[in-house]
């Protein structure tokens, strides 16, 4: 995943991800490769409005030694992926870079609203 920095004074929508001013976001390879062929994307990249700051590998689950019983009881904390799926099912439109705490709060608020 490329790390894209927004050097502009306003948030920019890049390949499905909103990047806030002077911040860096991870953008999926598949969509970024297609997006960067766009004329506007070329102007932003060539003009220094956006900067590609290397790549980050997709996070992987840490391997546990064989026989380890750690975390085998089933975690009660949902993953971010599960939270985004639940938000979509509830009809929430949330940015990819929302914090987990805010995402959980929005889901809780929506559930309370519909209850």
pLDDT above 70 for 107: yes
As a whole number of angstroms, the distance between CA 103 and CA 47 comes to: 34
Residue at token pair 């519909």: 114
- For residue 10, give every residue at least 6 positions away whose Cβ sits within 8 Å of its Cβ, in sequence order, or none: 21
Q: What pLDDT, on a 0 to 100 scale, did the predictor assign at position 47? A: 92
pLDDT above 90 coverage of the chain, percent: 16
User: For the residues 31-57, what does the mean pLDDT come to?
Assistant: 87
> Please, what's the b/e burial string for 91-105 (b: 16 or more CB within 10 A of its CB; e: otherwise)?
eeeeeeebeeeebbe
Residues 46-99 pLDDT 10s = 999 999 988 766 544 445 555 544 445 555 677 888 889 889 999 998 898 988
Q: What is the mean pLDDT of the chain?
A: 81
Q: Do 26 and 3 form a contact (C-beta atoms < 8 A)?
A: yes
């Amino acid at each position: 995943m490329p790390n894209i920095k927004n050097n502009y004074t306003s948030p920019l929508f890049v390949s499905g991800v909103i990047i806030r001013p002077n911040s860096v976001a991870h953008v999926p390879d598949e969509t970024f490769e297609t997006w960067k062929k766009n004329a506007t994307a070329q102007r932003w990249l060539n003009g220094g409005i956006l900067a590609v700051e290397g790549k980050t590998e997709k996070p992987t689950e840490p391997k546990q030694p064989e026989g380890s019983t750690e975390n085998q009881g089933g975690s009660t904390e949902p993953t971010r992926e599960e939270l985004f799926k639940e938000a979509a099912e509830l009809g929430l439109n949330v940015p990819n870079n929302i914090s987990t705490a805010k995402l959980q709060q929005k889901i809780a608020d929506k559930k309370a609203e519909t209850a």
